[in-house]
Amino acid sequence: MALLETRDLTKEFGGLRALDGVTIGVERGELVSLIGPNGSGKSTLINVITGLLEPTAGEIRYDGTDVVDLSPYEITQLGIGRSFQTASIFPELTVRENVEVASFATEHDSFSVNFLRRRDSYDAVRDRTDEILETIELEDVAGNDAESLPYGDKRRLEVAIGLATDPDLMFMDEPTAGMSPGETRMTVSLIDDLIEEWGMTIFLVEHDMDVVFDVSDRIFTLHEGRVIARGAPEEIRDDPAVREAYLGGEEV
65 or 71, CB closer to ligand ADP? 71
Minimum distance, C-beta of residue 51 to ligand ADP, in the bound complex (Å): 14
Read off φ and ψ for residue 25, nearest 5 degrees.
Answer: -135, 145
Q: Which of Mg ion, ligand ADP, none does 21 bind, CB closer than 5 to 8 A by kind?
A: none
User: Could you say which of 43, 88, 94, 121 contacts Mg ion (CB under 5 A)?
Assistant: 43
33 or 103, CB closer to Mg ion? 33
Q: Which of ligand ADP, Mg ion, none does 36 bind, CB closer than 5 to 8 A by kind?
A: ligand ADP
Binding site for ligand ADP (CB under 6 A): 13, 16, 18, 36, 38-44
Q: How far apart are the first and last CA of the chain?
A: 33
- Euclidean distance between CA atoms 147 and 154, whole angstroms: 8
Contact 163, 199 (CB under 8 A): no
- Euclidean distance between CA atoms 22 and 9, whole angstroms: 5
Minimum distance, C-beta of residue 44 to ligand ADP, in the bound complex (Å): 3
User: Is residue 90 classed as helix, strand or coil in its secondary structure?
Assistant: coil
Minimum distance, C-beta of residue 158 to ligand ADP, in the bound complex (Å): 17
Nearest to 55 by CA among 10, 95, 101: 10
Residue by residue, DSSP assigns 171-239 as: EEESTTTT--HHHHHHHHHHHHHHHHTT--EEEEE-S-HHHHHHH-SEEEEEETTEEEEEE-HHHHHT-
- Euclidean distance between CA atoms 17 and 40, whole angstroms: 10
Q: Which of Mg ion, ligand ADP, none does 13 bind, CB closer than 5 to 8 A by kind?
A: ligand ADP
Q: Which of Mg ion, ligand ADP, none does 96 bind, CB closer than 5 to 8 A by kind?
A: none
Sign of torsion over alpha carbons 242, 181, 164, 97: negative
Binding of Mg ion by 37 (CB under 5 A): no
Contact 158, 104 (CB under 8 A): no
- Residues that bind Mg ion (rule: CB under 5 A) add up to a total of 2
Q: Which of ligand ADP, Mg ion, none does 55 bind, CB closer than 5 to 8 A by kind?
A: none
Minimum distance, C-beta of residue 170 to ligand ADP, in the bound complex (Å): 17
Stretch that binds Mg ion, among 20-28, 42-50, 105-113, 219-227 (CB under 5 A): 42-50
Minimum distance, C-beta of residue 205 to ligand ADP, in the bound complex (Å): 7
Q: Which of Mg ion, ligand ADP, none does 39 bind, CB closer than 5 to 8 A by kind?
A: ligand ADP
41 or 55, CB closer to ligand ADP? 41
Give contact residues for Mg ion (rule: CB under 5 A): 42-43
